[in-house]
Amino acid sequence: MNNELPEDNAQAQKIKRQAPRFVLLNNILYRRSFQGPLLKCLSEKKVDYVLREIHEGCCAEYLGGISLARKTMLAGFLWPTLSQYSTRVVQACEGCQHHSNFRQSPATLMKPAWASCPFDQ
């Protein structure tokens, strides 16, 4: 914001590399994206509200973690830990846990199949 770099040379180089990806408009930080709108960088206070509104809001789609992160980016929002936080929101959602697919767990306990002799079916 103030056109100042840190004194640490490595940190200054990192900021110089990442700076072209971001733009500051009306004191709001946005990240440039390849296909779509500028992504508004959110503070920690607003992250929970935005994710819950997209996940449980008026449409109430109850998306999975990755889909929720993509939909949040398409809505124009971004923060550094978007995918991890959206996965945590989905895991904490009672409706998602109640109606989720249980395809990954076997119906019964698995038992090994033994053949009595070679080439026995």
The CATH number of residue 30's host domain is 1.10.340.70
CB under 8 Å, gap of 24 or more: what pairs does 27-31 form? 27/1, 31/78
In a domain, 76, yes or no: yes
pLDDT higher at 10 or 35 = 10
Give the start-end residues of each E strand in 1-64. 22-25, 28-31, 39-41
Contact predicate 79/62, CB 8 Å: no
In a domain, 115, yes or no: no
pLDDT higher at 47 or 97 = 47
pLDDT reported for residue 102: 59
Q: What is the pTM of this model?
A: 0.61
pLDDT reported for residue 117: 77
In a domain, 110, yes or no: no
In a domain, 5, yes or no: no
In a domain, 105, yes or no: no
pLDDT tens for each residue of 32-80: 877 777 888 888 788 888 888 887 776 666 777 888 888 888 878 888 8
Q: Which domain holds residue 48?
A: 13-96
In a domain, 108, yes or no: no
